[in-house]
Amino acid sequence: MVASRRMLERVSLVIGGAALGIFSTLYYRQTSLPVRLPEKGISPSESTPPESKPLPFDPPFKLPEPIDQQFSRKAYIVSYDRRLRHPNLALEHITKESLKRSEGVDRSKSYFREDLDIKPEIFRANLKDYFKSGYDRGHMVPAADIKTSQEALDQTFLLTNIAPQTGTGFNRDFIGNHVAVPTHFYKIILATKDDENSPDGKLHALGSFLLPNEYISSDQPLDKYFVLLENIEKVTGLEFFRGLDKNSTIDLCKVVKCQQLVANPKYVKEELRNLQIEQKA
């Protein structure tokens, strides 16, 4: 679900694909806006890491680690939920320059991989979890957005950037008795361009959407799924765009046409190719 390239050139705004746990800051050019990763389950005043505070007693063993693991990739940041085995959120920064394809970058060279950075292994999503599950391996940061290098593109195929999305079949609750299936996906877009009439010199357009993890007809208007950002924050426990005066933002869909575009059939064929490779393996 994206805006057309023509729309991008005309209004300097970008709309990214809807996805579970994806937190997108989309800029036409670099901006000095102090965007920080959202915190989960704690208030800003309590954000000091627990290990820096004195403990009331000396535990005989190490305390359990948080269930969230953050990874900084070449072109995105992802927070992975070790309990659900898919991302809480993914953050990408899109600019006019980042959308230019570098020489030699080819999606057909990429394939889905388990993320070996997840340790212990019991918390890792596996390729076999998706095999014959009836669900697609849905990118949280779309592979189509990443064109800067082959390595950056390959990293979008790590299963820490993937969540089960409704395909032609149906399953429920978990796939492979391992990976939780989300009921909904959220997408938050902050589009920014220079504006000399704004106090900080920037015009900020904000859009937040919540979509069910089910088949959605291509004739459905995207603004049908618009929700207030605070509603997503309440459900997820995440506070987005801390440091931004959200009351000063404008409605994204009022300055750019929010619409669906059908996925490129070429990528559907590549998905089938990847599946055939795994079956042979």
Tell me the pLDDT band of 223, cut-offs 50, 70 and 90.
confident
d(CA 141, CA 97): 17
Distance CA 220, CA 1 (A): 11
Q: Indicate the DSSP class of residue 16.
A: P
Instruction: Tell me whether residue 171 is annotated as binding.
Output: yes
Q: State yes or no: is 86 an active-site residue.
A: no
DSSP annotation string for 93-138: EE-TTTTSPPTT--GGG---B--TTSSSGGGS--HHHHTTSSEEEE
Contact between residue 240 and residue 89 where contact means Cβ atoms under 8 Å apart: no
Domain limits of the chain?
5-30+66-280
Mean model confidence pLDDT for the chain? 77
Instruction: Tell me: pLDDT of 273 over 70.
Output: no
Which entry of 139, 178, 184, 204 is annotated as an active-site residue?
139
Task: Record the pTM.
Answer: 0.75
CATH superfamily ID and name for 5-30+66-280: Extracellular Endonuclease, subunit A (3.40.570.10)
CA 192 to chain centre: 18
Query: Tell me, what's the pLDDT at 168?
Result: 54
pLDDT (0 to 100) of residue 174:
75
pLDDT beyond 50 at 42: no
Q: Which residue has the higher pLDDT, 225 or 275?
A: 225
